[in-house]
Amino acid sequence: MQQMTVQRPAQPPKRDPAPSRVAYKAHRLWLTPFVRQLARVGIPVFVVTMATGWYLSNPTHRFAIVEKAQQVRRTVEERPEFMVKLMAVEGASPVVDDAIRQLLPVNFPISSFDLDLEDMQAKVAVLDVIERVDIRIRPGGVLEVAVTERQPAVLWRAASTLEMLDATGHRVASISARAGRADLPLLAGVGAQDHVDEALALIAAARPLAQNMRGLVRMGERRWDIVLERDQRIMLPEQNPVQALEQVLALNQAQDLLARDLTVIDMRNPARPTLRLADPAVEELRRIKGLELGGLAQ
């Protein structure tokens, strides 16, 4: 049998109070989209803008803000992680090393934010001896200057100085005496520095004459002369000087040309090699011719 008894005491009716007219109107006003937007966006934005504007209208506050920002920036920049403590120059001879250190006067320690690496690289690259320079800040606070030096390939006797040039004709350094780098071939003449590659090709071709060769002279800024011992000269053409030289070497090998009493082997016209004899040889030749002809004539 089911007992349909009331388990709980009768509840009072649910409270359902009517809103007052004012509350009702306020609620409706609040639900109006415009009012709502105004309260949620308009008024806060206005208040914040006004407050910020008022604060910034005072120059002291503006200055304080800027100063504080700079101070914070400094603090970050000067953290030990960003400090550079020493400079390492790699791949440079002691002289160049010194020169680089002279060029880059940096007071260590310094923040890496204060280093202008591109400017420093440009400064170092001004040195003739430097072929290539890479500057970077290595982890651990080291300013690394990696340098590739130019290798001198020839000496060039200019108007008043003696310069070392690399294979591209770029100046490497000056030198006081030829004996300082006796191992390097010598060039002379105006415009020789612009055709070092040609000169090097000739020097390579003239290896059999290396013992006798004193140097190469650029003649009239257009062609080369090879100057040998005993004031002998091989005058080479503008075009294809190496073939002309090889022709001379072949003659030399066949007929021992250079051992003879010649002053000039003129190959300016390769089709017509011309020899200029030394004065005694000319005399001798004349004498022999004279004997032949004189006998006949006498």
Partner 1 sequence: MTDLYDQQRAMRAMRMAAIQRGVIAILDVGTSKIGCLVLRFDGPDRFRDSDGVGAMAGQSAFRVIGAATTRSRGVRFGEVDAMQETERAIRTAVQAAQKMANIRVDHVIACFSGAQPRSYGVAGSVELEGTAVSENDVARVLASCDVPDFGEGREVLHAQPVNFALDHRSGLKDPRGQIGNRLSVDMHLLTVDSAVIRNLLYCIKRCDLEVAGLASSSYVAGVSSLVEDEQELGAACIDLGGGATGLSIFMKKHMIYADSVRLGGDHVTSDISKGLQVPLATAERIKTFYGGVHATGMDDREMIEIGGETGDWEHDRRTVSRAELIGIMRPRVEEILEEVRGRLDAAGFDHLPSQQIVLTGGASQIPGLDGLAPKILGQQVRIGRPLRVQGLPQSVTGAAFASSVGLCLFAAHPQDEWWDFDIPADSYPARSLRRAVKWFKDNW
| Residue 78 φ then ψ, to 5° | -95, 15
Q: How far is the CB of 42 from partner 1 (least distance, A)?
A: 18
Q: How far is the CB of 71 from partner 1 (least distance, A)?
A: 49
Q: Is 22 in the site for partner 1 (CB under 8 A)?
A: no
Q: Is 61 in the site for partner 1 (CB under 8 A)?
A: no
Nearer to partner 1, 27 or 68 (CB): 27
Scan for tokens 């001198």, then name that residue. 152
Q: Is 40 in the site for partner 1 (CB under 8 A)?
A: no
Scan for tokens 């500057």, then name that residue. 135
Q: How far is the CB of 64 from partner 1 (least distance, A)?
A: 45
Among the listed residues 16, 81, 183, 279, the single contact to partner 1 using CB under 8 A: 16
Neighbouring residues of 134: CB distance < 8 A, sequence distance ≥ 6: 121, 144, 145, 146
Q: Is 4 in the site for partner 1 (CB under 8 A)?
A: yes
Instruction: Please state, in angstroms and rounded to a whole number, the distance separating the CA atoms of residues 187 and 284.
Output: 34
Nearer to partner 1, 33 or 53 (CB): 33
Neighbouring residues of 24: CB distance < 8 A, sequence distance ≥ 6: none
Q: How far is the CB of 16 from partner 1 (least distance, A)?
A: 5
Query: Tokens for 268?
Result: 């300016």
Q: Is 19 in the site for partner 1 (CB under 8 A)?
A: yes
Q: Is 27 in the site for partner 1 (CB under 8 A)?
A: yes
| DSSP one-letter string for 178-235 | GGGGTTS-EEESTTGGGGHHHHHHHHHHTGGGTTTEEEEEEETTTEEEEEEGGG-EEE
Q: Is 32 in the site for partner 1 (CB under 8 A)?
A: yes
Q: How far is the CB of 6 from partner 1 (least distance, A)?
A: 4
Q: What is the gyration radius of the CA atoms in the chain, in angstroms?
A: 46
Stretch that binds partner 1, among 23-31, 60-68, 85-93, 147-155 (CB under 8 A): 23-31
> Do strands 86-90 and 186-188 pair parallel, antiparallel, or not at all (unpaired)?
unpaired
Q: Is 254 in the site for partner 1 (CB under 8 A)?
A: no
Give residues in contact with partner 1 (CB under 8 A): 1-6, 9-10, 13, 16-19, 21, 23-25, 27-28, 31-33
